[in-house]
Chain A
Amino acid sequence: MDYVYTILILIGLFVILASSFDLVIGHCGLISIAHPIFYAIGAYVSAMLAKEGGMPIPLAMLAGGAAAFAASVLVALPSLRVSGDYLLIASIGFQLGLIEFAKHIHSIGGAGGLTNIPPFLVNTYGRVSYVLLVLAIALLTVLFVRWLTRGPYGRMMAAMRDDELAFSMLGRNAIWVKVSIFAIGSGIAGIAGGLYAHYFRFLEPDQFGLLQSSAILTMVVVGGMRTTLGPVIGAIVLQILPQAITFFGLPPSILGPLQGLMFSGLVLVFMFARPQGLLAAPDIWAGRDSKERRDG
């Protein structure tokens, strides 16, 4: 059963990541693919606080989330003040640079990774309890994103996405909305990081690189951007499919690349045949751009 539990936990974690990423890239329209680095910050901060600082794990996890929140503000504030698109490069630079940096820091395990992270719940209440915890937080995340995007904040984001100029003319502060959404999304990813760290108990800088970025991106794109359930479905489908393939008994030398080929191929098919994803939000990809064209 451990196997099933581990998959459920991974699904839960990726639901959290995909939903919070959709908040940033879909709902708020911020172009950044550096989501995994905030996941990493949460994981490492929580692991270190619990392991070296002896902090109670739930507190450590929250601190991890807070650290991710703070780091994302530091990245977003300067770059968003320049232009929205600057964020893409700034955040990729931040992501890859921080990973490279972490590889050189011996006290957090360096390139070889951080092991023996203290476990949480599993040894006392069993794995099921951890599954329930992760799934509960995943559910909370989805509901929170839904509440946020349907409420007044959501209307603000939509207005800003559709016409930033008009939005700022109304006296609304677009930068403030963007930075806070980016930070909220990243903070949630940080909490997911803590949840990852205390279950898998091993972290490695390289696992939070561009590959992870595109995995999360794929989930959002395939599931359907800017929808409540899209990222959830994307996360479930893309976690289960690769596991399912391992049961087909294919020759191993093809198996690995085949998985990658299927996923990237799947995204390509979606991008051209069904760009709105499995679940469609109205006018997802073309809307803003065609409007700008008319304006410009």
Chain B
Amino acid sequence: MLNATVISQILWTSLATSSYFVLFALAFALVLKVNKVFNFAQAGMMTCGFYAAYVAVRVVGLPGPAGFIAALAGGAAMAFVLERFGFSVLRHRKASPMFVFIFTLVASQFITYAMTMIFGTWPTTIFASMFWPVTLVADVAVSAWDIPAILATVAVLSGLWAFLRFTRYGQFMIAVADNADLAELYGIRKDRVLMVSMLIAGLICGVGMFLYGTRAQVQPAAATELMLFAVAATILGGIGNLWGAALAAVVLGVVQNSSILFIPSAWQGFLLYAFLFFAIVLFPSGFRLPERSKALKRTVAAPVIAADGKGG
């Protein structure tokens, strides 16, 4: 069982399938970093991206590339709606982070139900066929889906990097992520920057769902499961670190898949939570809900000492 072919096959396929997880984690981490929101409504953006592509290809009968554009448009459109009518309204009302979080959770469910009304619960794929031909490379099966998926992911990663590094809006996004109030003092229009960040996340979700939906069946509730993986990767990869989240998604995917060599396959799914648990226990310096982070740093220090004194 443990020979070179098996190991390289597992590594290759899990690398290829981690492509969409990387994208979902990236979108989640971006919104968390810039918009300071745990955006569980990302599942809604993902669902919209998928069904936009589905309608374009399966219902209207457009060719694949048009379906890809549709997926991008679907993801971005939902991102726009969420930001324009949700987050921005709540922000101006100075709603608490908990309130915003609840909003994302409920919005995500609302979108799922709406999609169920429209499309039913049939699991379906973007193309009628979900079988991709394979080529053997040194005994490792490489499917026609693998290479484009990896290339698309690399393209998105480098595109985002270049955007953040070299464009004005990219720099604005980083400034807002660092200190939104300060950025505003310097004349950066925060609302617009946050909208751009959401739209980018929507586009990334569109790419990810197009990849996923051409390989596996999707139904309205599927995106939530996929997103939880992204949440775990984001937490593992370090909050506020986009590339860390992306890397964590790859590592998680590969480890989860290769775990089959050491543990019964039924337990593979559980591994994700085991990781999450260890991340929480071992890296407790980790994470704060943004927005309030400054206030909390201050407030938390004292009680920790107090707790040590009394409890220990």
Direct chain A–B contact by Cβ atoms under 8 Å: yes
B4 contacts the other chain (Cβ, under 8 Å)? no
Q: Mark A149-193, 1 if CB is under 8 A from B, else 0.
A: 000000000000000110011010111100000000000000000
The answer on a CB contact under 8 Å between B106 and A271 is yes
Known: A165-B299, A264-B113. A82 touches B289 (CB 8 A): no
Looking at the complex, which of A15-23, A54-62, A90-98, A131-139 is the stretch in contact with chain B? A90-98
B273 contacts the other chain (Cβ, under 8 Å)? yes
Which residue of the partner chain, among A31, A78, A104, A296, contacts B295 with CB atoms under 8 Å?
A296
Tell me the bound Cα distance from A93 to B277 in angstroms. Answer: 6
Which residue of the partner chain, among A173, A260, A261, A286, contacts B96 with CB atoms under 8 Å?
A286
Q: Which secondary structure characterizes the binding site on chain B?
A: helix
Contacts of B103 in A (CB 8 A): 268, 271
Contacts of A164 in B (CB 8 A): 299, 303
B131 contacts the other chain (Cβ, under 8 Å)? no
Tell me the bound Cα distance from A93 to B233 in angstroms. Answer: 12
The answer on a CB contact under 8 Å between A271 and B102 is yes
Contacts of A93 in B (CB 8 A): 232, 273, 276-277, 280
Known: A97-B270, A289-B96. A82 touches B285 (CB 8 A): yes
Looking at the complex, which of A63-71, A214-222, A240-248 is the stretch in contact with chain B? A214-222
Q: Can you name the residue of chain B whose Cβ is closest to the Cβ of A85? A: B289
Tell me the bound Cα distance from A290 to B97 in angstroms. Answer: 12
CB distance from A101 to the nearest CB of B (A): 6
The answer on a CB contact under 8 Å between B274 and A97 is yes
The answer on a CB contact under 8 Å between A296 and B94 is no
The answer on a CB contact under 8 Å between A90 and B117 is no
The answer on a CB contact under 8 Å between A261 and B280 is no
Which residue of the partner chain, among B105, B269, B284, contacts A86 with CB atoms under 8 Å?
B284
A79 contacts the other chain (Cβ, under 8 Å)? yes
The answer on a CB contact under 8 Å between A31 and B101 is yes
Tell me the bound Cα distance from A176 to B311 in angstroms. Answer: 8
CB distance from B3 to the nearest CB of A (A): 29
CB distance from A268 to the nearest CB of B (A): 6
Q: Mark B209-244, 1 if CB is under 8 A from A, else 0.
A: 000000000000000100010011001000000000
Which residue of the partner chain, among B94, B269, B292, B304, contacts A85 with CB atoms under 8 Å?
B292
Mark out the residues of chain A between 248 and 296 whose CB falls within 8 Å of any chain B CB in the assembled complex.
253-254, 256-258, 260-261, 264-265, 267-268, 271-272, 275, 285-286, 288-290, 292-293, 295-296
Known: A82-B284, A86-B288, A97-B273. A258 touches B117 (CB 8 A): yes
Known: A97-B270, A175-B307. A292 touches B292 (CB 8 A): yes
A33 contacts the other chain (Cβ, under 8 Å)? yes
Tell me the bound Cα distance from A168 to B96 in angstroms. Answer: 22
> Most B CB atoms within 10 A — which of A86, A169, A173, A290?
A86
The answer on a CB contact under 8 Å between A173 and B310 is yes
Q: Can you name the residue of chain B whose Cβ is closest to the Cβ of A213? A: B105
Tell me the bound Cα distance from A295 to B299 in angstroms. Answer: 12
The answer on a CB contact under 8 Å between A295 and B295 is yes
Question: Interface of B with A (CB < 8 Å)?
Answer: 38, 89-90, 93-99, 101-103, 105-107, 109-110, 112-114, 116-117, 120, 224, 228, 231-232, 235, 266-267, 269-270, 273-274, 276-277, 280-281, 284-289, 291-292, 294-296, 298-300, 302-304, 306-307, 310-311
Given contact pairs A85-B296, A97-B274, enumerate 4 new A-B contacts (beta carbons under 8 Å). Answer: A85-B289, A86-B287, A168-B303, A261-B113
A-B contact pairs, 29 of them (CB 8 A): A79-B280, A82-B286, A83-B288, A85-B288, A88-B289, A89-B287, A93-B232, A93-B273, A94-B277, A97-B270, A97-B273, A100-B273, A104-B266, A171-B306, A173-B307, A173-B310, A175-B307, A176-B307, A210-B105, A214-B105, A257-B114, A260-B113, A264-B106, A264-B113, A271-B90, A285-B99, A289-B97, A289-B291, A289-B292
